[in-house]
Amino acid sequence: MLKRIGASLFVFALSASLPQTTFANDSEAEYALGGLKLVQSKYISMDSEDLFISAELVKVSYKFTNNSDKDIKTTVSFPLPAIPYEITDEYYEDLNLPNYDDLNFKTLVDGKPISYRKIVTAEVGGKDVSAVLTKYKLPIDWVALLGTGKDWSDNVSVKQMDELEKQGLLKKDSDDTYTPAWSARTSIVREQVFPAHKTISVVHSYRPLAGGSVGGALSVLGENKDLAKEYDEKYCTDKSFISGFQKAEAAAIAKEQYYSETWLGYVLKSGANWQGPIKNFHLTIDKGSPKNLVSFCMDGVTKTSPTKFEVFKKDFEPTKDLDILIVNF
């Protein structure tokens, strides 16, 4: 059975990494209070989104139209997964900190590569708290200090720690020690011009930092109702899927083979930041091997090849993010 600390540890660990939110849709952004703030676009519509997800590649192609009479120049943000904060020195040796340069992140606008920059902010519960950390001289990426001999609290007094706890930026443990409650969020940003009454194409591609586990928890869902509920709510692992898994697992065990789980996530909800719904939405999920199993929450799914599953939607307004479970035998 999975240990709870494992579920909160890094999605980037090599042998037992955990579920990650892969990446988010483009969202129009503005700078506010020194941080990055996502805002609603009044004039730019998302005409189409073609999204491909596998454990090896994520590629998303958009078509945007500026429906106003003037060119619009704005900052567009592509948030990367926030570094989890539930980490202590005790587990430092198990960490494999992410290097976002390994993503091989590429962006094409109308077929031409463009440059971008990275911004790192701190957040708690989705709220940017970078300005507060600056005030108290606290590091945003405090996890990077683990094992270096330095500590995030080197410049903070006990009184200030009490103040930060009241603001929700610190958590007090059972032994009265404080632990940071903020996550480090890296965002890829660029300046983008949307010409008046014109449509442009934007294509992102990258290699995902896929999470997963060796063995997984599917084998014990029947013994743990809370875990079964969690899997069902996140991945829609209904009775049919569980039955199929049990048959596949029995066949694998007979051959002295075992399974592992791969978790992928994609933030769809930020796609609703554009004017109106996504006019044409196309999703393709590739499970890798025909022997693998896949489960995710989405209606209108059609199996189009031994490994691919596709969804087509008109006037799609995402209300929920996408989480994908791939069972590898």
Residue listed under structure tokens 């494992």:
6
112-113 vs 44-53, strand pairing mode: unpaired
Sequence-separated contacts (24+) of 290-293 with Cβ below 8 Å: 291/248, 291/329, 292/326, 292/327, 292/328, 292/329, 293/241, 293/244, 293/245, 293/248, 293/326, 293/327, 293/329
Q: What is the pLDDT of residues 290-310, one digit of tens each?
A: 999 999 999 999 999 999 999
pTM above 0.95, yes or no: no
Residues whose CB is less than 8 angstroms from the CB of residue 8 and which lie 6 or more positions away in sequence, other chains included: 18, 84, 86
Q: Any idea where the domains of the chain sit in the sequence?
A: 4-122+186-328, 130-181
pLDDT in tens, 74-114: 887 777 766 555 544 444 444 445 566 667 888 899 999 98
Average pLDDT for residues 165-184, to the nearest whole number?
A: 86
258 Cβ neighbours under 8 A, 6+ residues apart: 215, 252, 329
Per-residue pLDDT tens for 202-234? 898 888 877 777 777 888 887 888 888 989 999
Using CB atoms within 10 A of its CB, is residue 256 exposed (0-12), middle (13-18) or buried (19+)? exposed
What is the DSSP pairing of strand 302-303 with strand 72-79?
unpaired
Q: What is the pLDDT of residue 284?
A: 98
In the CATH scheme, what is the code of domain 4-122+186-328? 2.60.40.3680
The residues facing 323 across adjacent strands are 265
Evaluate if residue 30 carries a pLDDT over 60.
Answer: no
- 125-142 burial by CB neighbour count: b if 16+ within 10 A, else e? eeebbbebbeebebbbbb
CA of residue 268 relative to chain centroid, distance: 10
* Strand-pair partners of 275: 45
187's tokens: 């965002």
